[in-house]
Amino acid sequence: MEEPIKSFSSQSETIDCAVCKQTITLLDPSKSEYVVCGSCFSYLHIIANNYSRLNRQLVKPEQKPVLKIGSTATFHNVNFKLIAYLEKKEAGSDYCWREYILTSKDRGYITLSEFDGHWNLIGGKDFLIDYEEPTVQAPSVYYKNIEYRLFNKYTPIVTAMVGEVDWDVVNEKIKAQEYIAPPFMVVAETSANYRNKDYYIGEYLEPKAIADAFGIDEIILTERIGIGANQPSIAYDRFKSALQITAIAIVLVLIIHLLIGLVKPEKELLNNDFLISHDERQDVNDYKSFITPSFTIDDESSNVAFEIATTVDNNWLETTIVLVNEKDNRTWEVSKSIEYYHGYEGGEGWSEGSTRESLLLSDIPKGTYHLNVYPSSGDINSNNLYIKATANVTMWRNTLITILLLCLYPAVCWYMMRNFEKRRWDNSDYSPFVNED
C-alpha cells in the first residue's frame, strides 16, 4: 500500500522589501534565505525575521512564468510547491532558458527547466531514492552502467528571478556539463574553484506531463521548437519495433523455405552428356536436333532448373530447349548461349564468359516429359552438350529477395532515426556526426 502524499502547510511569513518597503510573502519561510521582491525586483538576503538586505538589483523577467509561483504539483508520488522562477543565459552566447524551483517536505528540491518548449525534471540525490554517483570516463559519464555522452558545456548566468530559494543562486559561480542518454540527462555542476562537483539527473517530460502535474491547460505552455537535447526519439522506438518484427518475419521466411524443401525435395530428372554433330544440310552454324529420354514430374506444380555445359574454346554455342508434355503436347521453350573466350594481351592473360550456364522454368505441372534440343555453334568441331534437369530446386534467390524487401522498412526507420539524431546533435559542439559532413 502506498503512503499518502504529504501536503504543504498553509502557514507563511512576510518580510518587508529593504528597497521599496513592499510586503513580501514567503512560501517556505523555514528554509528561504534569498527572495526577490515582486514589485522592484530587488534580490534580497533574508537576515532575520522581517528583515532583509539588498544583495543585488535584478530586472523584470522577460517572460511571464507559465507555472504560477506557489502552485503545487506531484512528480514520482512526491508533492512539491513551486517557490521560484529563474531566467538564465549561457555566458558568451544568446542561449537562454527558464527554470522553476520546487521544494518538497522531505525529498529536497527539483528543478523544471524549459528551453524552446522542451521540459526536463532535474533532481539530485535527495530526490532520487536509487541515486548512484556517476563515474567519469571522458568524454562521457556512466550512470547505472549506461553511457551518457557529452552534449554541452556552459557557464550559466541568472538574468532575472522571482520567488525565493535557500542558497545564493544569483551570485553562485558554476560551470555546467550536460551528458545525454535520451530520455535522461546527467548534469554536472562544478564550482568556480573546482573544489566541489555535484551531479543531477534529468528526465525529459512531455508538455502534457507538466500540464497534468499542475492541473493546467497544455495550450498555455510554450510551443516546442526543434529537438530537445534528451528528447526521446520516436524514430528510434519505431526502428527497434521494426527490427524486432523484421527479425521474426525473416525467421518465419527461412522456416517456410526449409519446410517447402522437406515437403518437395529436389529430384533429378535428367543428367546426360549428349553427342552432337553438325547438320551439313542446314546453315553452317546449325547442328542436328535431338530428343532426350523421357522423365516424370510427380508434384502438381514444380520448377525445373537446367544446367548446360559444353567444351567451346574461343567460340560460342547456343541451344534452344523445348520441354514437351507427352500427354497433351504442351511446350515450354527456353534458349541460352554459352560463350567462352580467352587469350593474352599486354603480357597478361584474360578470359571472358563460361563453358557452363543455367536456365529455369517455373510452374510446370505434373506429367511425363522429354526435351527437344536445337543446338547451334560457331565451331563445327563441337561434339558434346551436357544437360542436367532438376525439379523443385531450392530457390534461394526468391528467399533472399523476400528478406531484402523485409529489410527495407527497418532501413527507412534507421535512416529516419539517424536523421533525428543528427538534427539533435546539430545543437551540440560535440556531435559524433561532425566528421561525416
175 with 194, same domain: the answer is yes
Best CA proximity match to 268, nearest among 295, 233, 242, 239: 295
pLDDT tens readout for residues 46-64 = 987 778 899 999 999 999 9
pLDDT tens readout for residues 425-435 = 999 999 998 76
Q: How confident is the prediction for the chain on average, in pLDDT? A: 91
111 with 88, same domain: the answer is yes
pLDDT of residue 289 exceeding 60 = yes
378 with 421, same domain: the answer is no
Task: For residue 5, tell me if it sits in a domain.
Answer: no
The domain in which residue 408 lies consists of: 237-260+398-436
245 with 141, same domain: the answer is no
pLDDT of residue 2: 33
210 with 244, same domain: the answer is no
Cell of 340: 567462352
Grid look-up 535428367 returns 270
pLDDT tens readout for residues 180-199 = 999 999 999 998 777 789 99
pLDDT tens readout for residues 298-317 = 988 899 999 999 988 899 99
Determine which of 156-165, 277-286, 318-327 has the lowest per-residue pLDDT on average.
277-286
Q: Which residue would you say has higher pLDDT here, 397 or 4?
A: 397
Average pLDDT over residues 67-89: 96
Q: Which residue would you say has higher pLDDT here, 374 or 5?
A: 374
417 with 286, same domain: the answer is no
Task: For residue 134, tell me if it sits in a domain.
Answer: yes
Q: Which long-range contacts (CB under 8 A, 24 or more apart) does 236-243 make?
A: 236/182, 236/417, 236/420, 236/421, 238/413, 238/416, 238/417, 239/410, 239/413, 239/414, 239/416, 239/417, 242/409, 242/410, 242/413, 243/410, 243/413
- Is 424 buried (19+), middle (13-18) or exposed (0-12) by CB count in 10 A? buried
pLDDT of residue 435: 66
Task: For residue 6, tell me if it sits in a domain.
Answer: no
pLDDT of residue 260: 84
Confidence of residue 339 (pLDDT cuts 50, 70, 90): very high
Task: For residue 1, tell me if it sits in a domain.
Answer: no
Confidence of residue 4 (pLDDT cuts 50, 70, 90): very low
Task: For residue 7, tell me if it sits in a domain.
Answer: no
| Sign of CA pseudo-dihedral 20, 23, 27, 32 | positive
pLDDT of residue 380 exceeding 80 = no
- Give pTM, 2 decimals: 0.75
Determine which of 193-197, 275-279, 385-389 has the lowest per-residue pLDDT on average.
193-197
pLDDT of residue 397: 85
pLDDT of residue 3: 36
166 with 247, same domain: the answer is no
Average pLDDT over residues 339-361: 91
pLDDT of residue 8 exceeding 70 = no
pLDDT tens readout for residues 35-45 = 999 999 999 99
* CB proximity list for 353: less than 8 A, separation 6 or greater: 338, 339, 340, 341
The number of domains in the chain is: 3
309 with 384, same domain: the answer is yes
- Is 355 buried (19+), middle (13-18) or exposed (0-12) by CB count in 10 A? middle
356 with 324, same domain: the answer is yes
pLDDT of residue 325: 96
Average pLDDT over residues 279-307: 88
Cα–Cα distance measured from residue 59 to residue 145, given in angstroms and rounded to the nearest whole number: 43
Determine which of 130-134, 380-384, 386-390 has the lowest per-residue pLDDT on average.
380-384
Q: Residue 264 — left, alpha, or beta (φ > 0 → left; ψ -120 to 50 → alpha)? A: beta
Cα–Cα distance measured from residue 1 to residue 144, given in angstroms and rounded to the nearest whole number: 28
pLDDT of residue 11 exceeding 80 = no
CATH code for the domain of 279: 2.60.120.380
Task: For residue 2, tell me if it sits in a domain.
Answer: no
363 with 282, same domain: the answer is yes
pLDDT of residue 304: 95
pLDDT of residue 164: 96
Average pLDDT over residues 256-261: 88
pLDDT of residue 436: 58
pLDDT of residue 1: 29
Q: What percent of the chain has pLDDT over 90?
A: 77
181 with 286, same domain: the answer is no
Task: For residue 4, tell me if it sits in a domain.
Answer: no
pLDDT of residue 247: 96
Q: Which residue would you say has higher pLDDT here, 218 or 4?
A: 218
Max CA distance (Å), the chain: 126
Q: Look at residues 232, 250, 278 and tell me which one is the last residue of a structural domain.
A: 232
